[in-house]
A and B are shown apart, each in its own frame.
Chain A
Amino acid sequence: MSLVLLVDDEPRIGRALEFALEGSDFEVESISNAQQIEAQLERSRPDVILLDIALGLHSGLDVCRRIKANPRFADIPLLLLSGQSDPQTQAAGFGAGADDFVPKPFVPTELIARIQKRLDTQP
């Protein structure tokens, strides 16, 4: 069972993710406060991070840069979730160090394939 950490301040995204991954080999943990992400990563290191770009007070892109700049967490695959899937937004996400980009709404088949691909390519 692989652990997915969802960082999102909207509870409905967490419910949708749990629905999408039900019956799969993934377990979901969620946090809504991006300030707590490092503490959460120390406490329970996930196999994959799903981070929403729109995080209320915090920019998901800034959080992404912060995680990827930290040598202790930089190797954890990080996928950005966004309702904006235009090329500029995706480019900004990859520029911030994201490993992949998941547009919302997401379809379970594609989401699981993207997460699995990141796990398979991990050293």
Chain B
Amino acid sequence: MMTETSTSLNRTLAEYRKIMHLAPPVVRKGSSLIDVVAVLAADPRPGVVLVIDDNERLVGWILEDRLETDLTLLVSPDSVKDASEELRFQATRGLMQTAGDLMTEAASVTIRTTVKEAVDRMVQSQTHAAALVDDQKRLLGYVTLPEIMREMLTWGG
């Protein structure tokens, strides 16, 4: 069993092509917070909003957790009793920010990335998803850790 698992982890993501999520909603660097929220609502599965530049290359992502704090405070400030004034100020300022201001470095993979490398990148970024890009770093879609694991366990590899 240990050997089978090790073998599976060394396979590339090309073998999981059929369970990848392709053509996801995206925002551009200059998109507003409202646009970011709309994209997250359209497809919340990856837990991130993917950001691309004018050449459709991946430039970062915005973590759902990062948005939750801002949005909760903005929509219902009283619901977060212990929010400091500074935090509320930051959240309010968030409305004026663009996707480019809010984004952080994204965990990304290609179809030649091994499962182990993909898992390592997701763990490192504390997410369950990674952006899928082509050789020119243009965004294709995303993969999620639970789906890859399910595929490995269900089909034996």
Contacts and interface: CB of A to CB of B under 8 A. Distances in A.
Interface of A: 11-13, 15-17, 19-20, 22-23, 81, 83-84, 104-109
Contact of B18 (A15, A16, A17, A107): A107
B20 A104 contact: no
B21 A107 contact: yes
Contact of B22 (A83, A84, A106): A106
B135 to A, nearest CB: 11
A107 B56 contact: no
B139 A109 contact: no
How many chain B residues sit at the interface, stated as a range, is: 20 to 34
| Residue from the set B22, B25, B52, B138 with the largest chain A CB neighbour count within 10 Å | B22
A108 B56 contact: no
Contacts of A22: 17
A11 B56 CA distance: 9
Contacts of A104: 23-25
Interface string B117-141: 0000000000000000010001111
Given A108-B18, A109-B18, A13 B23 contact: yes
Interface of B: 17-26, 42-43, 52, 56, 134, 138-142
B54 to A, nearest CB: 12
Given A11-B56, A83-B42, A84-B42, A105 B138 contact: no
Given A11-B56, A15-B134, A83-B42, A105 B141 contact: yes
A107 B42 CA distance: 16
| Residue from the set A11, A22, A105 with the largest chain B CB neighbour count within 10 Å | A105
A83 B41 CA distance: 11
A15 B22 CA distance: 9
A107 B22 contact: yes
